[in-house]
Amino acid sequence: MSHTLPPFLSIIIPTLNEADNLPALLDDLTKQQNISLEIIIGDGGSSDATRSVAEAYGTGFVTTRVGRGAQMNAGAERASGDYVLFLHADTRIDDPCLLSNAVRAVLSERCGDGVVAGHFSLRFMRSTKRNAMAYRYIEEKSAFNRINTTNGDQGLLLVKGFFRQLGGFDESMPFLEDQRIAEKIRSQGKLITLPGCLKTSARRFEAEGFHRRYILMSMMMGLHSVGEEAFFTRAPEVYRVQQDTGTLFLSPFFHLVWRLMRDEWGGIGSIRIFYLLGRYIRQNSWQMFFFIDVWLRPLLGAGRYPFLKFHDRVFGPCTNFKVLDAVTGMICCIWFMGILAPFFWFLDQGYRMLQERSTGNSARI
């Protein structure tokens, strides 16, 4: 009787002061069945006990400069498995067969060159019941394979050779490496949703404010999609380490866009940027219809998306023209720069005054 060896999977986990979160994930990984695992920590220079935790579990450990792309690339260089899986340190796994099932799913979809990658859907671990509908929307969207719906929290599983073919993660910035490699995968191979789901912490949303974080994410994805990199190289605190998060002030980001419009883009350049943003919004209009489906989930039942289908079959094809892109871009400019920008300027000023008053009272006490 012949016995097939279980697949050998290298798991790469980028860390920066994750001593509190890492043990739970490593415990979950030790419970995985029907698969051989190699775990490698790609650390960005932690000052806490992250390294001690990793060594206590017998994982590989490599130190590099800060930035998830650089950290995951460094970990992948040490990987000896046939497959590599990239996970964030605040991930949790309930199903002991999740990883073996995931590798089998990639195997069943593989083309001749093995150019297949997979991601999981998400479930958020929350400390509050606020914004339940919004979280449900993000969770359902994480199971889709449409552009701009895949991020690092969902994990990334692929054949090691395909990862090398893709050139690894982009290291030019400490963020958006997940979006950029997803775009490469879609252009060179196939991206699938893996069976099962990962749990991820909602700590960033909860600490920074759900709507504030989501607005900044929409600004980042929009400007990234139109190739406006100056926003990212100049934006203050556009990326913050998880442990350093607090209330997210949006006024500096809006102020930066105003400066770019005035000093770099100019009148014609600003019109061009917002026209491209209008096209980006129009191409992603399916998300509004998808949101309605999720909102009506108690009535529609699981797995039904009639409004999304209406968008794909009717609304999307009927609105694919340049004039609408221009109109949408103008509305985008008015909404973000004419309404949200002054609103959050006043709101942020109020938050700062309260913080200063609280600090002053504490000092007097």
* Domains by residue range for the chain, with CATH: 8-201 (3.90.550.10), 206-364 (no CATH)
pLDDT tens per residue, range 63-87: 999 989 999 999 999 999 999 999 9
Handedness of CA 72, 76, 78, 80 (dihedral sign): positive
CA proximity to 209, closest of 244, 249, 149, 152 = 249
pLDDT tens-place string over residues 136-194? 999 999 998 888 888 999 999 999 999 999 999 999 877 889 999 999 999 898 999 99
Q: What is the pLDDT of residues 43-56, one digit of tens each?
A: 999 999 999 999 99
How many CB atoms are closer than 10 A to CB 261?
18
How does the average pLDDT of the chain come out, rounded? 90
DSSP 265-319: IHHHHHHHHHHHHHHHHHHTTHHHHHHHHHHTHHHH-TT--HHHHHIIIIIHHHT
C-alpha–C-alpha distance, residues 10 and 114, integer Å: 17
Q: Which residues pair with 92 in a beta bridge?
A: 199
Phi, psi of 246 (to 5 degrees): -150, -160
Q: Which two tokens stand for residue 220?
A: 């980042």
By the 10 Å C-beta count (0-12 exposed, 13-18 middle, 19+ buried), 190 is classed as middle
pLDDT for 1 equals 40
**H-type alpha helices, the chain:** 22-30, 50-56, 68-78, 98-109, 132-141, 160-165, 177-188, 203-208, 210-225, 230-234, 251-260, 266-283, 286-295, 297-300, 306-310, 316-318, 322-333, 341-364
- CA 355 from chain centre, in angstroms, equals 30
Give residue 2's pLDDT: 44
